[in-house]
């Protein structure tokens, strides 16, 4: 399954939000790939996420495949939509 999201926080996908996204993605058995700037990267890797250089307003897709894909989609969407607010 694929979901399209937009970076909402003003700082973009820098170290803290990239770390939060990678940590949340790693909680699931499903594979989670991020697609942006004609690149596909492992969303469970903070370095891969930071390497994309996403800024506020940039769109990206998460491609989630596995046994807990629905749960992963819900949790990751909420994290991004909240602007990476602490839980």
Greater model confidence, 41 or 9: 41
Domain ranges of the chain: 2-81
Question: pLDDT for 22-66, tens place per residue?
Answer: 999 999 999 999 999 999 999 999 999 999 999 999 999 999 999
What pLDDT is recorded for position 23? 97
Query: How far does Cα 66 stand from its chain's mean position?
Result: 16
Q: Answer whether 25's CB lies under 8 Å from 78's CB.
A: no
Q: Residue 85 — very low, low, confident or very high, per pLDDT cuts 50/70/90?
A: confident
Cβ within 8 Å of residue 4, ≥6 positions away: 59, 60, 61
Q: Does the pLDDT value for residue 87 go beyond 90? A: no
Kindly report the CATH class assigned to 2-81: alpha beta
- Given 14, 33, 42, 45, the catalytic residue: 14
Residue 86 catalytic?
no
3-state SS, residue 62? strand
What pLDDT is recorded for position 86? 52
> In terms of C-beta density within 10 A (0-12 exposed, 13-18 middle, 19 or more buried), how is residue 4 classed?
exposed
Sign of CA dihedral 66, 72, 73, 76: negative
């Amino acid at each position: 399954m694929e979901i399209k999201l937009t970076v909402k926080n003003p700082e973009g996908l820098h170290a803290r939000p990239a770390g939060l996204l990678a940590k949340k993605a790693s909680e699931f058995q499903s594979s989670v790939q991020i697609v942006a700037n004609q690149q596909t990267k492992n969303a469970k890797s903070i370095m891969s996420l930071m390497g994309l250089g996403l800024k506020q307003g940039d769109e990206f897709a998460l491609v989630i495949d596995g046994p807990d894909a629905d749960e992963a989609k819900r949790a990751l969407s909420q994290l991004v939509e909240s602007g990476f607010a602490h839980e």
